[in-house]
Amino acid sequence: MILGIDEVGRGPWAGPLVVGAVVLGGVTIDGLTDSKKLTKKRREQLDIEIRDKASGFGLGWVSAGEIDKIGLSAALKLATKRAVDQVSTSYHEIIIDGTVNFLSETSKGQYVTTMKKADLLIPSVSAASVVAKVARDSYMTLQDYIYPGYSFKNHVGYGTELHRNAIDKLGVTPLHRLSIAPLKKYANQTSDVVLEKPKKMTTKMIGDKAEDFAAKYLENHSHKIIDRNWKTKYCEVDIISVYDDIIYFTEVKYRKRADQGGGLAAITPKKLKQMKFAVEFYVLSNKISNTNLRLAAISLSGQPPIVETFLEI
């Protein structure tokens, strides 16, 4: 019962710092290693498996504005504390990747072991590295919708040439860390720099992003997506997929916060009747002979969206 801790986002010019904390609890997950050594697709597959199988996990986020205000060292401590506070599972040891005990000023500091390359050696730390990396990358990809022109999904905030050119052309955004050396000039010249205003996320954009995450979840669980956002003036289906010769008709329900009751609470008897009608309409319209059909629902919450539940109805 080791609580593994690792951070992602220490060096970027923009975006949050994220710390992952995972208790695997004896579960074996094949392929765990330092997240930077994995492909994007493999990280996303492992992220789903970790969230499904781990005894507990947490993510600690510290924004660019907080980093500018308190400094990176304090931000690392704050993000670690926030991540650990989310883990309710019991554990007997804490291992942090690196050489610094970010919990030294808390009651948990005495139980910490720091270890270089722990993300290569300790599975729970590797898992923490993966969930933090996937969460942060997903968040930065979402910023492409909000701040077009910066290509955040390509460099996730690091100081690449593409990113530097975008800043030179467009200025900085609230995502940028103005306390780092390359961007300090913008903090001192705010009267001369137009801060890029965020593009307002419409309800449709938020819903589409949640459906993208839901579709990716199904694909990572061996579903083949055959249709998305199928609509008529009478009914609609969010995702249609095939798994093991079974056709799934999945309703996607998203809530910004998990404490808003959960997306599945919206699957009322009336909604269920509408879903069944939509399936019958789709089958007739597309002349489908396969009668092995299932209704399903995916519940997501948070920013970026996290799959909470996939349920056959």
pTM for the predicted model, two decimal places: 0.70
Highest-confidence range of 83-92, 209-218, 286-295, by mean pLDDT? 83-92
Residues 103 and 215 in one domain: no
Q: Residue 284 corresponds to which amino acid?
A: L
Domain hosting 231: range is: 203-312
- pLDDT confidence band for 34 (50 / 70 / 90): confident
Please report the DSSP string for 134-170 in residue order.
HHHHHHHHHHHHHSTTS-HHHHTT---HHHHHHHHHH
Q: How confident is the model at residue 195 (pLDDT cuts 50, 70, 90)?
A: low
Domain boundary among 92, 124, 141: 141
Q: Which of 141, 161, 184 delimits the end of a domain?
A: 141
Do both 209 and 93 map to the same domain? no
Instruction: Name the DSSP letter for residue 282.
Output: H
Given a cut of 80, whether residue 238 has pLDDT beyond it is yes
Residue 201: per-residue pLDDT: 64
Which single residue is written with the structure tokens 């050696």?
Answer: 121
Mean pLDDT (the chain) is 88
Q: In what order do the strands lie in the sheet with 93-97?
A: 56-62, 17-23, 2-8, 93-97, 112-115
Residue 64's closest CA among 72, 52, 56?
Answer: 72
| Band of residue 301 on the pLDDT scale cut at 50, 70, 90 | confident
Nearest CA to 4 out of 139, 134, 138, 130 is that of: 130
| CATH code, domain with 238 | 3.40.1350.10
Q: Give the span between the Cα atoms of 313 and 294, in whole angstroms.
A: 7
| Share of residues in the chain with pLDDT > 90 (%) | 58
Task: Indicate the number of domains in the chain.
Answer: 2
